[in-house]
Structure 1
């Protein structure tokens, strides 16, 4: 009986956890015609994934008219920051808004978590005004109340609250941040400790492909310099120019995928090297806040994000991503640095003998290296430079624009947990 009781307690906790992570903001707003523009930008900027990853959140939504005024002269990166500032990391329903302690409260927003907010600029001031109105303003000194509470849209106590407000919340300096187009990609990679990767994309010409993709959408996985020193890394200098280009394209996605989006990604995802169904794909594995990439040959952890400027994001990874199409067989490791060991005896011919030599076993025969799969042609350039990682790299000019991307989906185990709960209760009857 005690064991059954413990089981019920654990199931109850599981039910609560499943319910807490079950909300999907884009699904909530689907079918509400007055918020279609707001909802589309949640998906395009991937702020929806950041919202869905939070167990407790309040989303302040704007009607199509208010949203049109906001986005008219803004870049996609600025729109993303505006949406983050409208996302409160606490639960506020209509009752709580009208019963604030001392009539005013300062609360944290998603924008504060980005690290881009200076001081308390990522906070929002909520205040009860005369006449029963509730107003919202930036926490910046001297900021005026810009938005007022209009109506409630959806409440899922105490996990998700969706409230309509009259206007966006802004402050001087929120908009106009440098875009990916003005960023020097190689300088960013070098500063992040990815000098060897920066050398390769420049010497191979792949950097031009990346720059062209940044106009639409680009996610880059840049191996750090330690990844190129791994003992089991194949000798990349033996790759043809075309195969090296394919390998570098394999480290990029033709879509905008910040870490929050990677955490909810299911199944295989195509890379810039993908030329057909199932070719040069990656799979994502996430546990909590840790995200890893699986190629089928090796795995690599997404270590950090060094640039997130919609629609371009650059992540660093701990290992070089090895596609099975190029490295499906046993890879030949790169030669170790330093002098070669001299204690290996040279092979000498065996003395003649009258006994016939046994035939070699088929299984023991050394296999010839398998030629790499067909890969996209390399851009016209000289042989790629595989010099040491600390060599200098030239500057590059990057460009960025906007592109619509699909909405996200949140994995839910609620139904399965409920079924387990029912079975456990039934066993006690």
Structure 2
């Protein structure tokens, strides 16, 4: 019995010691007004959500003057790409920068994960230039180390590190990336991604025009692939009224720019284009590592791939058709597979696009009311730039938080050990 108690208490101690320190880049940078512009654009591009969703990260910040100069010349989509190059998927502090093996290394950046980084464009070259200097530059062959490490801002070892550099890291071609326009060919992108059935439906019902109107301010689309419409359990869409079909298709989009990083940090239900007074028509998000799953209340669907992520438009493919409880509160009856060449029974599109007059008109079509039977839904070395930094105490602040957490953990461990000894001696 004593042995069993001992094992149980050891397990308890290990559980107590498993403490995860979360970070919030927006809150961290809010302590430093000289980085307010950088902080603003992290939020504007939703890169803050991506940073907060990762356990180990280094952010290379730029002061307000540098960011303002960059932002004044380029659209938001380009700014996002540039800032993504300043987010390293590894932990670097002052000590590690000056202890790089062989004096140089390549680090993967967040830009590399977008799928828009050919070759070495998504990597950053970090080189110890000695004499207390560390240079940063694109990893593309022939690129110069135009950026220099100036000081350490804040660290939560080995979770997040914020370092200042003096100039932006610019990879070849990143400033000439085309800006998104209001006439993005949504249907062309979706067809190429294997979503021809979905394209046919949104075109014939007029929902495509709703998407295009919403895209100017922010739009995220979850497009089921063609195989999703052939899956067992998918309802017979030809049995839906035109208004119900419109609601179903609007349910597959959000009236906001919500990239994958933002989805991973979402806690509350997401309103869709179908959301109105007649029903919630919302989605909940489940995450497991880098995987994101959407839950409609009737079933779930994995976010399979990113077709487009260019502020303010984001398009994903999903594995299953999203079925809202407002329309499918009961298990839907199986239906014949729907191919891209089969059109559901519906009224002409012009009738759908002519909503009834209302006191507060909306750019989105109004979905039907739900059926009545539906259920309710560390200090820097003296030779480093940080030695003269006015924010050198920032490191101490970050470490103090970890120390406090460590002391709390040690206290709990000590208590557990005392209890363990008492049990063993019994």
Q: TM-score, normalised by structure 1?
A: 0.76
Q: Which runs of 5+ in 2 are unaligned?
A: 1-5, 339-350, 356-404
Q: How does 1:88-127 map to 2 (within 5 A)?
A: 88-127=88-127
Equivalent position of 1:87 in the other structure: 87
Q: How does 1:26-175 map to 2 (within 5 A)?
A: 26-129=26-129, 131-175=131-175
Q: What is the CA distance between 1:332 and its match in structure 2?
A: 3.9
1:335-382, CA deviations, whole angstroms, 9 ceiling, x for partnerless residues? 479xxxxxxxxxxxxxxxxxxxxxxxxxxxxxxxxxxxxxxx82159x
In the alignment, the residues of structure 2 paired with residue 250 and residue 379 of structure 1 have an alpha-carbon distance, to the nearest angstrom, of 16
In the alignment, the residues of structure 2 paired with residue 238 and residue 193 of structure 1 have an alpha-carbon distance, to the nearest angstrom, of 24
Report the secondary structure of 1:39's partner residue.
Answer: helix
Q: What is the Cα-based RMSD across aligned positions, in Å? A: 2.5
1:20-54, CA deviations, whole angstroms, 9 ceiling, x for partnerless residues? xx111111112321111111111121111222222
Which of residues 10, 13, 19 is equivalent to 1:8? 13
In the alignment, the residues of structure 2 paired with residue 307 and residue 288 of structure 1 have an alpha-carbon distance, to the nearest angstrom, of 21
Report the secondary structure of 2:352's partner residue.
Answer: coil
Q: What is the CA distance between 1:278 and its match in structure 2?
A: 6.0
1:58-94, CA deviations, whole angstroms, 9 ceiling, x for partnerless residues? 1100111111011112222211111111112222211
Change (3 A) 1:323 1:143: same
Equivalent position of 1:207 in the other structure: 208
Q: What is the CA distance between 1:292 and its match in structure 2?
A: 1.4
Report the secondary structure of 2:308's partner residue.
Answer: strand
Q: Which runs of 5+ in 1 are unaligned?
A: 338-376, 382-413
Which of residues 345, 352, 356 is equivalent to 1:378? 352
Aligned length: 352
Report the secondary structure of 1:325's partner residue.
Answer: coil
In the alignment, the residues of structure 2 paired with residue 2 and residue 327 of structure 1 have an alpha-carbon distance, to the nearest angstrom, of 49
In the alignment, the residues of structure 2 paired with residue 248 and residue 426 of structure 1 have an alpha-carbon distance, to the nearest angstrom, of 60
Q: What is the CA distance between 1:103 and its match in structure 2?
A: 3.0
In the alignment, the residues of structure 1 paired with residue 119 and residue 330 of structure 2 have an alpha-carbon distance, to the nearest angstrom, of 53
Q: What is the CA distance between 1:225 and its match in structure 2?
A: 1.1
Change (3 A) 1:200 1:278: closer
Report the secondary structure of 1:283's partner residue.
Answer: strand
Q: What is the CA distance between 1:296 and its match in structure 2?
A: 1.6
CA contact (8 A) 2:229 2:337 kept: no
In the alignment, the residues of structure 1 paired with residue 88 and residue 278 of structure 2 have an alpha-carbon distance, to the nearest angstrom, of 41
Equivalent position of 2:328 in the other structure: 327
CA contact (8 A) 2:231 2:337 kept: no
Q: How does 1:311-350 map to 2 (within 5 A)?
A: 311-335=312-336
Report the secondary structure of 1:300's partner residue.
Answer: strand
Q: What is the CA distance between 1:318 and its match in structure 2?
A: 1.6
Q: What is the CA distance between 1:174 and its match in structure 2?
A: 1.0
Equivalent position of 1:362 in the other structure: none
Q: How does 1:281-360 map to 2 (within 5 A)?
A: 281-335=282-336
In the alignment, the residues of structure 1 paired with residue 86 and residue 278 of structure 2 have an alpha-carbon distance, to the nearest angstrom, of 40
Of structures 1 and 2, the larger Rg is shown by: 1
Report the secondary structure of 1:74's partner residue.
Answer: coil
Q: What is the CA distance between 1:135 and its match in structure 2?
A: 1.8
Report the secondary structure of 2:176's partner residue.
Answer: coil
Report the secondary structure of 1:149's partner residue.
Answer: strand
In the alignment, the residues of structure 2 paired with residue 242 and residue 95 of structure 1 have an alpha-carbon distance, to the nearest angstrom, of 62
In the alignment, the residues of structure 2 paired with residue 202 and residue 85 of structure 1 have an alpha-carbon distance, to the nearest angstrom, of 37
Q: What is the CA distance between 1:172 and its match in structure 2?
A: 2.4
Q: What is the CA distance between 1:115 and its match in structure 2?
A: 2.4
CA contact (8 A) 2:222 2:315 kept: yes
In the alignment, the residues of structure 1 paired with residue 336 and residue 299 of structure 2 have an alpha-carbon distance, to the nearest angstrom, of 20
Equivalent position of 2:270 in the other structure: 269
1:239-298, CA deviations, whole angstroms, 9 ceiling, x for partnerless residues? 222222111111000111122211111121110111139611111111222221111222
In the alignment, the residues of structure 1 paired with residue 216 and residue 31 of structure 2 have an alpha-carbon distance, to the nearest angstrom, of 31
Q: What is the CA distance between 1:8 and its match in structure 2?
A: 2.2
1:124-149, CA deviations, whole angstroms, 9 ceiling, x for partnerless residues? 12223364322211112222222111
Change (3 A) 1:130 1:423: closer
Which of residues 398, 406, 427 is equivalent to 2:419? 427
Report the secondary structure of 2:173's partner residue.
Answer: coil
In the alignment, the residues of structure 1 paired with residue 63 and residue 47 of structure 2 have an alpha-carbon distance, to the nearest angstrom, of 17
Deviation larger for 108-117 or 63-72: 108-117
Report the secondary structure of 2:79's partner residue.
Answer: helix
Equivalent position of 2:347 in the other structure: none
